[in-house]
Structure 1
């Protein structure tokens, strides 16, 4: 294949544009903010689960507290009625004795329930603190995520602007390159890890960094200026310049 030497030189500009585009794509998918956001997202899921557990525990404790409070109210009401009957007088001795015994039992039961109520109120206080602490952590995490997402979006905007400029530059270069040479470049780039054209510098291929052997060097030296030559090792297009050392 033949192509004007000036066109072959443009392949190096095309390769430079493609290299930058690949670097920008890699940067976009490997922003440190992305890893940080993913890590915070996992932490957020853990905190969400912790919040559900803490809120469920608090609801259970609150239910136990309400039950105990109702039992205390019931005992107090029963005790008030019994004391009223006791004070009204006129009760048979046996009934009076039973009523006094019941009042003793009710007072003992009330004391037990009130102790249990105090204990569960302390437990609820701890549970309330736990729910509040997890809520504060979630709020702090949300703020941190917002900052990371803003930084990510700013980086995306910067990268996308650079990509747009490079793509416009690439399109301009592509318009100058014949279709057959461009197709060869694209094939070489696909098989060459993103590098389809490399400068021959000081008798060395800048694509694979291997110095040309004697016979390869002779063949390149004897090739016409418009001949498209390729590296025998990596099969990339070799672009000859004043630095080639021929």
Structure 2
């Protein structure tokens, strides 16, 4: 392939812009915020499960406490009814004795239930404290995630703006290069890690860093100015400059 030396030199300008765009894309993909967001999101998911468990414990204790409260109320109501019957004077001595025994038993039952309720209320207080602690950690993690996302978005917007500027810079450079030369460059860039053209400096390929010697060096020296050279090692386009050392 042949192309004017000036067009070949513009390949280096195009390559520099493309490399900067690739670097910006890499920067966007590998922002440390991505890993931090992923880690925080995972922690948040664990805290969400932990919070659900803590809330379940509190709700379970609330149900038990309500159950005991209902039972205490039933025992108290029954004791009051028995006491009213005893005080009515309408029962015999034997029934009075039975009612008194039942009232005493109900009183003992109520006392035991109230003791159990106090124990449960203490457990509930502790469980609520645990739940509050988990909620605080969950809220902090959620706020941290939101802050990370805001920071990531701001950085990505800056990168996108830089990419847009570099892309606008690229267009006139690409348009000034002959279509066949540009097509070869694009093909090589896609298959060679983003570098399709490299400067030849001090007889060394700027792409693979291999120095030209022997037949390859002689052919490069003998090539016409408009001949498009290719590196024998990496096959990228070799662009001759004033520093090529030929």
Coordinate RMSD, CA, aligned: 1.1
Cross-structure match for 1:201: 201
Uncovered stretches (5+) of structure 1, i.e. residues with no partner:
none
Cross-structure match for 2:86: 86
Query: Hey, what's the Cα distance between the residues in 2 that align with 1:189 and 1:74?
Result: 85
Query: Hey, what's the Cα distance between the residues in 2 that align with 1:72 and 1:212?
Result: 97
> Which whole-Å deviations, capped at 9, do the CAs of 1:185-213 have from their partners, x for residues lacking one?
11111221111000111111110011112
Equivalent residues, number: 246
Is it true that 1:139 corresponds to 2:139 in the alignment? yes
SS at match of 2:188: helix
Q: Which sits farther off after the overlay, 205-214 or 125-134? A: 125-134
Moved segments of 4+, more than 4 Å: none
Cross-structure match for 1:187: 187
Q: How far off is 1:130 after superposition?
A: 2.1
Q: TM-score scaled to structure 2, two decimals? A: 0.97
Q: How far off is 1:147 after superposition?
A: 1.2
Cross-structure match for 1:44: 44
Q: Which sits farther off after the overlay, 134-143 or 166-175? A: 134-143
SS at match of 1:3: coil
Query: Hey, what's the Cα distance between the residues in 2 that align with 1:92 and 1:190?
Result: 107
Q: How far off is 1:153 after superposition?
A: 1.0
Query: Hey, what's the Cα distance between the residues in 2 that align with 1:60 and 1:147?
Result: 35
Q: Which sits farther off after the overlay, 141-150 or 162-171? A: 141-150
Query: Hey, what's the Cα distance between the residues in 1 that align with 2:25 and 2:117?
Result: 63
Cross-structure match for 1:33: 33
SS at match of 2:97: helix
Cross-structure match for 2:151: 151
Query: Hey, what's the Cα distance between the residues in 2 that align with 1:33 and 1:176?
Result: 39
Uncovered stretches (5+) of structure 2, i.e. residues with no partner:
none
